[in-house]
Amino acid sequence: AQSVTQLDSQVPVFEEAPVELRCNYSSSVSVYLFWYVQYPNQGLQLLLKYLSGSTLVESINGFEAEFNKSQTSFHLRKPSVHISDTAEYFCAAAGGTSYGKLTFGQGTILTVHP
């Protein structure tokens, strides 16, 4: 069965500092990877996704993630965070025989301090 592990439950950072949210997955077949962001009391918004092709994917608000097959990782990075980036971030995977079902990590709460 597929599993997704987010290594940090909480990440506090100061504004304008760089950040990395770590995600590892386990799968023996092709996998599709996603990062979602959830603001308090809201639903999930797709941040970025890896389906195939270039291993570096970017979002419109400055986040990027790199698919690393050898390390089975899909870490999320941003070189300079803003207060408005404070939210919970979920890594998710779909693939293999699980059709469209997404398997989520436990989530990482990113808190940006002024």
Partner 1 sequence: NAGVMQNPRHLVRRRGQEARLRCSPMKGHSHVYWYRQLPEEGLKFMVYLQKENIIDESGMPKERFSAEFPKEGPSILRIQQVVRGDSAAYFCASSPGIGQGARNYGYTFGSGTRLTVV
The residue ranges that bind partner 1 (CB under 8 A) are 6, 32, 34, 36, 41-46, 49, 51, 90, 92, 94-95, 98-107
Choose among 6, 41, 4, 3: nearest CA to 20.
Answer: 6
Q: How far is the CB of 111 from partner 1 (least distance, A)?
A: 16
Q: How far is the CB of 21 from partner 1 (least distance, A)?
A: 13
Distance between CA atoms of 26 and 88, rounded to whole angstroms? 22
DSSP 29: S
Q: Which is nearer to partner 1, 13 or 102 (CB)?
A: 102
Q: Which is nearer to partner 1, 7 or 102 (CB)?
A: 102
**Cβ contact 64:80 at 8 Å:** no
Q: Which is nearer to partner 1, 40 or 114 (CB)?
A: 40
Distance between CA atoms of 114 and 99, rounded to whole angstroms? 42
Q: How far is the CB of 80 from partner 1 (least distance, A)?
A: 26
